[in-house]
Structure 1
Amino acid sequence: MSATATRARRRPVMFAAAVATATVMAAAALATAPGAAAASAPLAGYELSWGIKDSYRNYVTGPYTKGTFTVSDGASQADGNGVFTFTDGQGTYDSTNHTLHLAFKGTLVSESPVHGFKRVMSDFQYDSATGILTADLTADDGPTQQDVPFAKVAAPAGSDMSGLATILTTEAGTFLGGSNYAGAAGDPLSVVKKPGTTSPSPSPSDPETTSPEPTSSPTTSASPSESETGTPSTSPKPGDSASQSAEPTASTSPSASTAPAPSKGDIADGRLTWGVKDSFRGYVVGPVAKGRIAASDGASQASGNGAFTFADATGSYDTEAGALSAAFKGSVNFKGHQGEGEGGGYGLDLTLDNVRASLDGGSGKLTADVTSLGEKSPNVVLADLKAASAKLTAKGDVITVNDVTATLTGAGAKAFGGFYDKGTALDPVNLSVALTKGAELPSGNGTSGGGSGTGGTGTSGGTGGTGGTGTGGTGSTTGGVGSTTGGIGGSMAATGSDIPVGALGAAAAATVAAGAGVLYALRRRRDTEA
């Protein structure tokens, strides 16, 4: 669709830089373009780079979906399943209202014969006035929806339109395959002028942040969402993550004691909230594993298949050294891939307990005892931790450290059966520890209350098509999992050593490929090893 046809949708946004220069160039252009709108200058030679969302790309090309991305008509994709670039951006710059509107060439198709979906995206257009990125969308063999609001784009900083934050719209969530995408943070978006072109390069400043309510609605059949829990989530998820409950960033509860807490000593209480990995939780209760999640012994799980909270911390702290070491009560069990027949065993049976976190100067470890298919491996270092600050500050006799990044270790990768690589980002860790018995911990911290919780069993989708060798696994147009590694298979069998203990890693993929019969073979192997 041409920029002229969509000009009526623009509304004023101030440009702080290059306005005078752009105005002069616009006037010169208008002198040679009779009949053009007043103070409007043509733009050409722009490129738009955007990856939609990394977890969606990894889901499409992952081991269960076995899908592909195809680019044409001027679009391209970076190596390693990277971001997409749309070219030949043309449009107008209105020097009176200080807005620009650009339309880009390129068609992008995501498709999976196994899960039976095809999504076509084209005619991406960026409007700095509304802060909206639109596209023409076609789902499967349905009609093409024109100019569908696909993402809300953050305001540029001066003349720099690179790395702009994006939020996927409700329409995008429907099109991509699940409500979990709606309102989620997409990949950063960049609009740059290709070298060698001569049209004006206006430099926008903060555009209006309000966006028109989307009105277009694409076809509703869709590919699996990045975290399917059996009950669609209605809460947007921020960032390449995915599922997080609202968590306090600081303690607001005063201590019952008026005396300041000592700089070092024993931890009186505390809790740690961690979701392990949102895509893994979704996989366990989703249509492939058809499993369940249970939190017990002092651990709890937030509603909507959310994060886990481990309670009753013990340990020590030293605020002067910026160090703490805490152990937490609670156990979380994941079960999936149950064999057929009464009393059929589970191909995936993983328990995490005795969770411990340590920080020293902002860096640390997350450790747990891992039990897979009955084989227990104590003291497995699952993740490397990195806090935003090297300091530990007590407020109200409570130390609170939120949004600690957790990166999968080599031993942790074995605990996940090799389906997540070492270095994969896990869910962030949030912890609060009380330094005195009278101190009150922040409420919530990502949970929906104490006690034990159980994640529901996901509903099964339709049977996937045949792909590769054998028959494709159970698929669904609304189920499934996205992740930074393209989904997760079944095995949690691993130890802190170099030798895995339960051979389920390849088994989950085999379950999808060959059916439930593999589960019995796994059970026999476990009995043999025992």
Structure 2
Amino acid sequence: MAAISRRRPLALAAAVAVALGAGALAVTSASAAEAPLKDYELTWGIKQSYRSYVTGMAAGSFTPAGGATQAADNGAFTFAGGTGTYDSDTHAVRLGFAGSLKIASKLHGFDLTLSDVRFDSGAAEITADVTSGGTTQDDVPLADVTVTRTMTGMETKLTKEAATVLGSASYEGAAGDPLTVVQKTPPTQSPSPTGSPSSSTSPSPTASTSPKPTGSASSTASPSASHTTSPSASASETGAATEGDIADGTLGWGVKQSFRTYVVDGPAKGRITASGGATQASGNGDFTFTEATGTYDTDADTLKAAFKGAVNFKGHEANGSYGLDLTLSGLTVELDGGTGELTADVESLGKTSDDVVLAHLTADSSDLKAEDDVISLDDVTAELTKAGAQAFGGFYTEGTVLDPVDLSVALSDDAQLPDGNGDGGSGNGSGTGGSGDSGTTSGTTGGGGTTGSTTGGVTGALASTGSDVPTGALGAAAAVTVAAGAGVVIAVRRRRQA
């Protein structure tokens, strides 16, 4: 397991001082090394995006039992009844907690249970027993922990074993939700290894002091933010008007590399199909959308361009039905003074929402400049919106940075776009499995088979423009299908002492 920087014994001693009282640290060498602890609670959400994936795209559920609970709105989990010991020699707190958590999705075919959750400040980790497919692996290390003095809001880092449990290698090394370990009912006196009462009544941290996990902050800047009033070079050398209709153009965008990998090479075991004038670069690369139409104004630094082509993501096939069937089409870019938005028509499992604002866009410059009758913008930052997060079923949180956008539009019929195509609308490109040419053919990355929508339901997987989906956690990207459905054997070493 990948290790993180472990706290030194003195730092761990300080962490326990608040929880146990200073008297617990004044244990003499003649006393027993371990003092008993009880009535502790552990609160941890695993990872916000994972929770959103389970209840969103996977249409699954979390079922806590035996003393474990979950906060409202798909929040973090709390395991109560924590008991254990404080080691005065190593200054380590070791606690085991009651309760279990069942994580299941019939649609994506997984069913696993976490139980016997443990926290060890000395090893700086969280472990749990994981039951899947009738087999239980004991003491699976789920996360490394950056132990703090108060033991509240501690940073966590998911392990390789956790990535296996959650079903995607992308989780290895990813930041998990913050961890809080508190004593539910502070003792009237500090524990003493000899059993004799101690005069110390130092309070322990309470759950009210722990920060609540929150989603990623999104940009509050309006896509139509006012632009600079300074004049820009608006007309091209060939005399193109400073405003008018777009003759042609291409849009290069990969959506997000990790999502493409998840669909083709990850747990979805699926395929990506570009069609209708869109193509995909080889090696599961970026997409190119063509035949732009729209308007521009280089004096006002505004542009609106719509592109032809569609891309379909399909995966999690079971008996001819798909748990993931997402199509993006009708992509449109609108910019005003260097900021704007990317919209698309989104079809998911047979349900369609038009003109969903997928991403906020920010260009390097607020000026639109034409050279040889072509306006080109490279590496435009794309940040996922709330509606975009819902469209992807909680795979990524609002504010997640997507793949950058490359945009080129021709202002005249004879202008040459960067790829060498002119003629106002040819815009062909190569893609894995074929070339997109005015919608006549399509390119597919991944497995073969037909494309199109498949009926079936994932409630809330499709964005509803202008409405809020009742979820307290939006997400980033993975499934539990491999770990639960395929019965993966998790290679771990037993952490608990005999």
Q: Which TM class, normalised by the smaller chain length?
A: 0.5 to 0.7
Pick from 433, 449, 452: which aligns with 2:431?
Answer: 452
The residue that corresponds to 2:483 in the other structure is none
1:194 and 1:435 map into 2 onto residues whose CA distance is: 62
| 1:108 and 2:101 matched | yes
| 1:50 and 2:41 matched | no
The residue that corresponds to 1:73 in the other structure is 66
Distance apart, 1:355 and its partner CA: 2.5
Distance apart, 1:434 and its partner CA: 8.2
Residues 285 and 87 of structure 1, relative CA distance in 2, 3 Å threshold: same
Contact 1:310 1:328 in 2 (8 A): no
2:10 and 2:160 map into 1 onto residues whose CA distance is: 27
1:107-126 mapped onto 2 (5 Å cutoff):
107-112=100-105, 117-126=110-119
The residue that corresponds to 1:152 in the other structure is 144
Pick from 180, 187, 198: which aligns with 1:190?
Answer: 180
Contact 1:276 1:426 in 2 (8 A): no
Pick from 306, 310, 313: which aligns with 1:332?
Answer: 310
Pick from 357, 375, 385: which aligns with 1:383?
Answer: 357
Contact 1:59 1:486 in 2 (8 A): no
Q: Secondary structure of the equivalent of 2:165?
A: helix
2:279 and 2:266 map into 1 onto residues whose CA distance is: 22
Distance apart, 1:383 and its partner CA: 1.0
| 1:275 and 2:255 matched | yes
Contact 1:384 1:406 in 2 (8 A): yes
The residue that corresponds to 1:404 in the other structure is 383
The residue that corresponds to 1:225 in the other structure is none
1:472-487 mapped onto 2 (5 Å cutoff):
none
2:59 and 2:183 map into 1 onto residues whose CA distance is: 35
1:107 and 1:291 map into 2 onto residues whose CA distance is: 36
Contact 1:398 1:435 in 2 (8 A): no
1:85-100 mapped onto 2 (5 Å cutoff):
85-92=78-85, 99-100=92-93
Contact 1:296 1:452 in 2 (8 A): no
Residues 271 and 92 of structure 1, relative CA distance in 2, 3 Å threshold: farther
**Amino acid aligned to 1:46:** Y
Distance apart, 1:289 and its partner CA: 11
Please identify the structure whose Cα radius of gyration is greater: 2
Q: Secondary structure of the equivalent of 2:74?
A: coil
Distance apart, 1:75 and its partner CA: 0.8
The residue that corresponds to 2:494 in the other structure is none
Distance apart, 1:171 and its partner CA: 1.7
Contact 1:125 1:134 in 2 (8 A): yes
Distance apart, 1:398 and its partner CA: 6.4
2:122 and 2:354 map into 1 onto residues whose CA distance is: 52
**Amino acid aligned to 2:274:** A
Residues 327 and 286 of structure 1, relative CA distance in 2, 3 Å threshold: same
1:286 and 1:28 map into 2 onto residues whose CA distance is: 49
Distance apart, 1:84 and its partner CA: 1.2
Percent identity between the aligned chains? 35
Distance apart, 1:187 and its partner CA: 3.5
Distance apart, 1:43 and its partner CA: 4.8
2:99 and 2:266 map into 1 onto residues whose CA distance is: 34
| 1:172 and 2:172 matched | no
Deviations along 1:429-464, one digit per CA (max 9) or x if unpaired, are 433568999xx99xxxxxxxx7323222389xxxxx
Residues 406 and 67 of structure 1, relative CA distance in 2, 3 Å threshold: closer
Residues 105 and 184 of structure 1, relative CA distance in 2, 3 Å threshold: same
Residues 141 and 407 of structure 1, relative CA distance in 2, 3 Å threshold: same
Residues 352 and 179 of structure 1, relative CA distance in 2, 3 Å threshold: closer
Deviations along 1:148-195, one digit per CA (max 9) or x if unpaired, are 111233565x64621x44443222232233445444444443334436
**Amino acid aligned to 1:151:** A
Q: Secondary structure of the equivalent of 1:109?
A: strand
The residue that corresponds to 2:477 in the other structure is none
1:432 and 1:105 map into 2 onto residues whose CA distance is: 52
Contact 1:42 1:91 in 2 (8 A): yes
Pick from 274, 277, 280: which aligns with 1:294?
Answer: 274
1:34 and 1:455 map into 2 onto residues whose CA distance is: 68
Residues 35 and 291 of structure 1, relative CA distance in 2, 3 Å threshold: same
Distance apart, 1:74 and its partner CA: 1.8
2:93 and 2:7 map into 1 onto residues whose CA distance is: 10
Distance apart, 1:77 and its partner CA: 1.5
Contact 1:366 1:381 in 2 (8 A): no
1:299-318 mapped onto 2 (5 Å cutoff):
299-300=279-280, 303=283, 308=287, 310=289
Residues 132 and 457 of structure 1, relative CA distance in 2, 3 Å threshold: same
1:45 and 1:111 map into 2 onto residues whose CA distance is: 29
The residue that corresponds to 2:343 in the other structure is 367
2:274 and 2:381 map into 1 onto residues whose CA distance is: 24
Distance apart, 1:201 and its partner CA: 7.5
Residues 270 and 307 of structure 1, relative CA distance in 2, 3 Å threshold: closer
Residues 192 and 31 of structure 1, relative CA distance in 2, 3 Å threshold: closer
Residues 359 and 151 of structure 1, relative CA distance in 2, 3 Å threshold: farther
TM-score (structure 2 length as normaliser): 0.52
1:474-513 mapped onto 2 (5 Å cutoff):
488=461
Contact 1:139 1:175 in 2 (8 A): no
| 1:355 and 2:331 matched | yes
Contact 1:285 1:292 in 2 (8 A): no
Distance apart, 1:424 and its partner CA: 8.6
2:164 and 2:36 map into 1 onto residues whose CA distance is: 34
The residue that corresponds to 2:130 in the other structure is 137
Contact 1:44 1:88 in 2 (8 A): yes
RMSD, aligned α-carbons = 6.2
Q: Secondary structure of the equivalent of 2:430?
A: coil
Residues 61 and 380 of structure 1, relative CA distance in 2, 3 Å threshold: closer
Residues 371 and 69 of structure 1, relative CA distance in 2, 3 Å threshold: closer
Kindly indicate whether structure 1 or structure 2 has the higher relative contact order, using CA contacts under 8 Å at least 6 residues apart. 2
Structure 1: gaps of 5 or more residues: 1-9, 204-238, 242-260, 338-343, 442-449, 460-472, 475-480, 497-530
Q: Secondary structure of the equivalent of 1:172?
A: helix
1:22 and 1:280 map into 2 onto residues whose CA distance is: 47
1:274 and 1:432 map into 2 onto residues whose CA distance is: 10
Residues 102 and 187 of structure 1, relative CA distance in 2, 3 Å threshold: same
Deviations along 1:107-143, one digit per CA (max 9) or x if unpaired, are 1122456766432211222334444221112222114
Structure 2: gaps of 5 or more residues: 1-5, 191-201, 206-213, 217-230, 236-241, 368-375, 420-428, 433-443, 450-454, 467-498
